[in-house]
Structure 1
Amino acid sequence: MDLGQLENVVAGVDPGGPGLAVGVYADGKLLHWAARGVSTVEFGVPIDSRTRFDIASISKQFTAACLLLLAGEGKLSLTDDVRSHLPDLRLQTPVTLGQCLRHTGGLPEWYGVQGLTGIPLQGLDEEHLMAVLSGVRRTAFEPGTAFSYSNTGYVLASAVVRRVSGQSLADFARDRLFGPLGMDDTAFRDDAAVPMPRMAFGYDRDGRRADTQESVVGDGGVVTSVSDLAPWFGFLADGRVLGAGLREALLETAPLADGTPSPYAHGIYHLSVGELQGYGHAGGMHGYVANLLYLPGPGLGVAVLTNHSGLDPVGLSTRLARGLTGQEPQPSPALAGPGAGEAARTALLGHWHDPASGSTLTLTPDEEGMIRVTDVSDAVVALGSDGRWHDLAATRRAWLALEGERLIQGDTLSIRPPVSFVRCEGPGEDPAPEGAWLSDEYGVLAVVREGVLRVGLTLRAPVVPAPAGAWSAGPFTLRLDTDGDLLISGFGLRESRFTAQPPGTAPLGIPPGLV
């Protein structure tokens, strides 16, 4: 094995700033590791193989494994309606446990709900969040018919583990998963206020402190180190310790209702690294990003854990895996020179709308031959040799392409399927609608007065015209339906309905779950 490959991954990281640890695994053992940077900038503590990181959504496979252990004992089934275990839920449509784990339940994203209610993340735990989620009534689509990544399903899965086993997810995983595997430094951190030995502090892209604040787990919350992950890679290889049946169940995929294949299994998804098939998952949370992948052909595992939001563990781990398996690096598409592809550029310019999510894009010229993409972010793309328009960021992972009458937006390494946009009219001239609207799901009012949207405890944002007959307010898109109700989309929410209230209605009361 060329250890120079490993050192190359960490070479560009500032040794005095937040950084990363990288592990390479085979046969359930950590073969080699490398690290660069410090776990705490304030004290200059170097990162090593036992430094613990929050691995965010990589945690989902451990949550799913806990649920599958209970299923194997006959205490539940993945075909169970989640309401049968959580009767306090007010969902109007059955959503199965399997749909929760595969992101096909149409459940609203709880981070979006948190944005609307304003309930503080600091100290937020399962009990308080479940008080909020118990009000959810509507799914974004008929469960099982589409894929829409939602952390909510995994919060519900964590609550199901507690109801069925009588233990918190953290305790159940310690006793039934991490303990038997010998992963003594790995845990669900369900109380963010408790200090953890060798825990790296998190830092954002600008190097500012950005540690995890909430104590909700299931969708995330696992802390671990590159050394402690070795037994898990052994389990992913052949099911050792926990059983081949559990491994097979964890990796089992299912098509959507119309037969469309989905690569997402249970908290882990199937992928390819060049010519090799594998499975893995990425994770990102305040101050932490990480990636884990396993290639069963060569029996190779790779983990990249970081405490710096500006790093790209997905790209780094993929590059490392290709190098260690003798594959050439994935070439970044060459960019066309100035003035090239002018006809193609002209065809993309204008306003685009995704009817499913409610999101919009506006594409305008930006310097010679380039396009500025205006949405929640603000990127510049250029025509590549593959015919796609690529983000000018160093990785060039994000891309746009015109397919017939539709604009497709994707990411070469994302688990989320590409998004399809249709052309739409540009922002109108109508002022923001004035009034008050009540969410019967979250118990909060949305009030628009003098061009400003106020929702819940903290959201205050100016309302401005947006494409497709909508208005934008911060990260959210607003629309009025034919009944005068307000539909709010964005941040993982799809047309969350707020019912029109009498004139003069003012916000009052405390959103459920806050106390």
Structure 2
Amino acid sequence: MDFEQVERALDALPGLRPDGPGLAVGVYADGKALHTAVRGVATVEFGVPIDSRTRFDIASISKQFTAACLLLLERDGRLSLSDDIREHVPELRLGVPVTIDQCLRHTGGLPEWYGLQAVTGVPFHLMDEERLLKVLAGVRRTAFEPGTRFSYSNTGYVLAAVVVRRVTGRSVAAFARERLFGPLGMDDTVFRDDASVPLPRMAYGYDGAGARADTQESAVGDGGLVTGVADLAPWFGFLADGRVLGADVRAALLEPTVLAGGAVLRYARGICHLAAGDLGDLGGYGHAGGMHGYVGNLLHLPEPGLGVAVLTNHSGLDPVGLSIRLARALAGREPAHRPAPAGRAGGEAARTALLGHWHDAETDATLTLDPAADGGIAMTGPFDAVLALGDDGRWRGQAGSAEVWLAPEGGRLLLGHAGSIRWPHAYEPCDPPGEGPVPRGAWLNDETGVLAVLDEGVLRVGLTFQATVTPAPAGTWRAGPFTLRLGADGDLLLSGFGLLGLRFAAQPEGTAPVGVPSGLV
């Protein structure tokens, strides 16, 4: 295996400086690290270089470890994944049953807690497990009938960590240390459930502009695992054949999700099978993660028995794209499709057919496609990107959006991201933004006790959120990361940031916030 390919790939990464935040890469086989490569520093302020034992917050990559804890408890006979989550967390007031397994598979319809944090305004550094549970206890409505759809929600994994504590009397950090990391010999790996406690060899996090952006919250399970590329080798051994923890746990971890209607999804339990084409003719599975100042990706390819991990303390890097390129190269596969030269035959007609406004009915998200230079497309919506027509007929993102793609399919438009578990989303043509005034008024969400106020084109929600409101396609308005829609009954529906139609009931004219909603602080 030519590990010089790894070094050359890192040398070619734009935006990396020897004295700036960087990354660590691990290549694994048979539970051993065959090669590690590092660039940049763990702490810009002190010039501490990254090495193979530098620890990073791996964010949502943590989910597979949480899921393994629940699988061990099921094997112990302490719980069943088919248990209603309310059996173990009785303070939840959900109006319908949601199982532990639906929490692990993102099929429970639970509102995203990061979205709830945004609308309540409770600071991240205050959002530990206890306080977050108080917020979640008010939730009564799911976004859809549990088990019928997939909607990525970190909430289910926080609740899974709560279940571990309720069943064992110990935190998920303590349980994982005893049942996962200890047996595997992962001594540098820990769930960081108190972000105020310093950790040796911990990399500071930085955003894409180089500013400090460290993780602040102490609620874990959905994320919060801290590790380094040297310490991940035994986990790749487990992913390969179930060693130490058991082949039964491995098989259950990788079991694809089947929805109530029979549809089979790539997502399993805390880990995801890669989409066809991500790695050419190779199969594989993994999970990405991203949180303030940290992004990463973990891949395992069973056929060549190869694992790749990319962990960074630099939010401007693309570990998903890098890990896929490295895995393909190390496995001897051709590189992924690249954009064709501008002006290729048929490109202008293909572009013209896509220009306009599009709407995703499941998430209420919208996007607009406009012409860009050199035959490209400028996309605005969930995020902004410039795309060029690729040799596979897909429109692919340029520069920092290289893993984003658009593809027409039967009158719809698929928006995808290579290696992502949340994509693709299907968009239909829709009406352009309206020209009428932004509505005014006040609306109350009875699950969080939070008031939303629209006045003079500005939305104010909860303790801190404030954003200018602008008309958006499909009869919606956009306010920061959120899409707003008025229901037929006059209620305000708020979507985005993992929330799907969070309902705010119209209040009498002149209603204004008074004090702090109960239970938020």
Into which bin does the TM-score normalised by the smaller protein fall?
A: over 0.9
TM-score (norm 2): 0.96
Deviations 1:191-227 (A, max 9, x none): 1110000000111111111110111100000000111
Find 2:389's aligned residue among 379, 383, 389.
Answer: 383
1:331 deviates by 3.4
Separation in 2 of the partners of 1:475 and 1:45?
Answer: 35
- 1:382 Cα deviation (Å)? 2.1
Where do 1:29-178 residues align within 5 Å? 29-178=32-181
* Matched residue SS, 2:264: coil
Task: Map Cα deviations across residues 445-482 of structure 1 (whole Å, 9 max, x no partner).
Answer: 01112222111011111222221111111111111111
Instruction: Supply the AA of the counterpart residue of 2:481.
Output: P
Give the Cα–Cα distance (whole angstroms) in 1 for the partners of residues 396 and 279 of structure 2: 20
Residue deviations 1:324-368 (CA, integer Å, cap 9, x gap): 222222232324328952222222121111111011111122235
Indicate whether 1:402 and 2:405 are aligned.
Answer: no
Which residue matches 2:304? 298
Distance 1:198 1:35 in 2: 14
Alpha-carbon distance between aligned partners in 1 of 2:130 and 2:489, rounded to the nearest angstrom: 35
The alpha-carbon distance between structure 1 residues 368 and 183, as it changes in their structure 2 partners (threshold 3 A), is closer
Query: In the alignment, does 2:444 pair up with 1:441?
Result: no
Give the match for residue 277 of structure 1. 283
Q: Give secondary structure in 2 for the equivalent of 1:281.
A: strand
**Greater Cα offset, 320-329 or 92-101:** 320-329
Is residue 131–residue 512 contact of structure 1 (8 Å, CA) maintained in 2? no
Percent identity among equivalent residues? 70
**Could you list the runs of 5+ residues in structure 2 that have no partner in the other structure?**
none
Paired amino acid for 2:190: A
1:354 is matched with which residue? Answer: 360
Please give the TM-score of this superposition, normalised by the length of structure 1: 0.97
- Counterparts of 1:291 and 1:449, CA distance in 2: 42
* 2:483 matches 1:477: yes
Match runs of 1:333-344 below 5 Å: 333-337=339-343, 341-344=347-350
Q: Is the 8 A contact 1:203 1:307 kept in 2?
A: yes
- Kindly state the Cα deviation for residue 395 of structure 1 after the two structures are TM-superposed: 6.0
Q: Please identify, of 330-339 and 106-115, the stretch whose mean Cα deviation from structure 2 is larger.
A: 330-339
Contact 1:183 1:231 in 2 (8 A): yes
Which amino acid in 2 is paired with 1:277?
Answer: G
CA deviation map 1:369-390 (0-9, x unaligned): 2222111422222222222222
Task: Report Cα offsets for 1:104-156 as digits up to 9, x if no partner.
Answer: 11111111111111110123201111111111111111111111111111011
Give the counterpart letter for 2:315 in structure 1.
S
Letter in 2 for 1:476: F
Q: How many angstroms apart in 2 are the aligned matches of 1:343 and 1:270?
A: 35
| Residue of 262, 267, 270 corresponding to 2:265 | 262
1:424 and 2:427 correspond:
no
Partner of 2:194: 191
Distance 1:417 1:377, change over 3 A: closer
Report deviation, 1:512.
Answer: 4.6
Post-superposition shift, 1:491?
0.9
In the aligned structure 2, how far is the partner of 1:318 from the partner of 1:306? 15
Which SS does the other structure have where 1:273 is aligned? coil
* In 1, Cα distance between equivalents of 2:33 and 2:489: 60
* Structure 1 vs Structure 2 CA RMSD: 1.6
User: Which residue of structure 1 lines up, in the alignment, with residue 331 of structure 2?
Assistant: 325
Pick from 207, 210, 215 the counterpart of residue 212 of structure 1.
215
Q: Deviations over 1:178-200 (max 9, x none)?
A: 11111111000001110000000
The answer as to whether partners of 1:355 and 1:421 remain within 8 angstroms in 2 is yes
1:286 aligns with 2:289: no
Equivalent residues, number: 515
Q: CA deviation at 1:82?
A: 0.9
Distance 1:394 1:211, change over 3 A: closer
